[in-house]
Amino acid sequence: MSNVTVVTGFILGVFSDVQELQTLCGVLFLVMYLATLMSNILIITLITLDLQLQTPMYFFLKNLSVMDVFLVSVPIPNFIVNSLTHNSSISILGCAFQILLMTSFSAGDVLVLTAMSYDRYVAICCPLHYEAIMSDGACMLMAGFSWATGLFFGAVYTVGTFSMPFCGSNVIPQFFCDIPSLLRISCSGTLVVIYTSIGIGLCLGMSCFICVVISYFYIFSTVLKIPTTKGQSKAFATCLPHLIVFTVFIATACFVYLKTSFNSPIIDRLFAVIYTVLPPAFNPVIYSLKNADVKCALRRLLQNVCSRGSLHLTLKST
């Protein structure tokens, strides 16, 4: 047997070998991370506090925002610290936690988005039975299933990936641990476990995609039968934000995991940034800019804050 070096840790990729540029990247990622964090927390706060947003659609939107906060908080803070300290090493345990959490929240995102498409289907195609079908218990069950199934897939992928030995190179070209990179540096002769888990994941993704397509086929068929243009516009306004969010998430994931590798590792990492940062940052923008209910809720929240502040100042002065 030839001598091999057993890997005890990994080196993550960086955008530049120049320390000044690494620091600049760290600062830029910090700004993007804080903006994404604050926008999603704002959506969560509005839905939690505003009584007029206590509907199934916004219940799922809050779950989506919570998952997005967790998803973006797994790789980005670690990359920021690595860029500012100029140390891109990560332990095997830390890499395993990244795989577990990112896979769990990504799978959960897909399932919540699928549940949201079913909610829109029931609201538009079966409006008379909407409250009975989308009851609080049903919504809690779908949300719980999304979280639990996401965690299950994360555990399966993590166990499957780290059941393999790693030897030789310990360099991961991405700025976070991802399964394709780990497969390339594995020295295992058999990859049955990991390929089985990947196949199950692809089946889950395709099933969710097909469910969303079928839902929107019936949605669009029903909306086009609405006699008034105003009614059609109102129906489309409640569906298009979700459809855009789902498309962005699936498209960016496909770019990262299904594309062939580019000649430049920098471009590979840029696509990874788009996958990890763009959907969580994009979701609140779509749902807030194009949603009158969210705008009204934000206006009410600001008015309440201002009125309480004025009342506090008045009491303090007297």
Per-position b or e across 214-237, b if 16+ CB within 10 A of its CB:
ebbeebeeebeeeeeeeeeeebbe
Q: How would residue 140 be classed by pLDDT, with cut points 50, 70 and 90?
A: very high
What pLDDT does residue 251 have? 76
CATH 3.40.47.10 fits 9-317, yes or no: no
pLDDT, greater one: 215 or 164: 215
198-211: per-residue pLDDT in tens? 777 778 888 888 99
Q: Please name the helix (run of DSSP H) or strand (run of DSSP E) that holds residue 101, with its range, or none.
A: helix 92-125
Separation CA 220–CA 124 (nearest Å): 9
Q: Is 43 left (phi over 0), alpha (psi -120 to 50) or beta?
A: alpha
Q: Which residue type occupies 115?
A: A
Residues with Cβ within 8 Å of residue 279, at least 6 apart in sequence: 68, 109, 245, 248, 249, 252
Question: What single-letter DSSP state applies at residue 164?
Answer: S
Instruction: Give the H or E element holding residue 300.
Output: helix 292-317
pLDDT tens profile 238-260:
777 778 778 877 777 776 666 55
Length of the chain equals 318
Q: What DSSP state is assigned to residue 5?
A: P
d(CA 113, CA 61): 9
Mean pLDDT of 7-36: 82
User: Distance between CA 239 and CA 231 in Å, rounded?
Assistant: 13
Tell me the average pLDDT across 107-136: 90
Gap between the Cα atoms of 35 and 33, Å rounded: 5
Which pLDDT does position 192 carry in this prediction?
A: 67
pLDDT value at residue 168:
66
Spell out the domain ranges in the chain: 9-317
pTM for the model stands at 0.85
Query: What's the pLDDT at 188?
Result: 66
Q: How far is CA 128 from CA 53, 120, 125, 131, 142, in A?
A: 20, 13, 9, 8, 21
Average pLDDT on 193-221 reads: 82
Gyration radius of the chain over CA positions: 22
Q: pLDDT-based confidence at 1, cuts 50/70/90?
A: very low
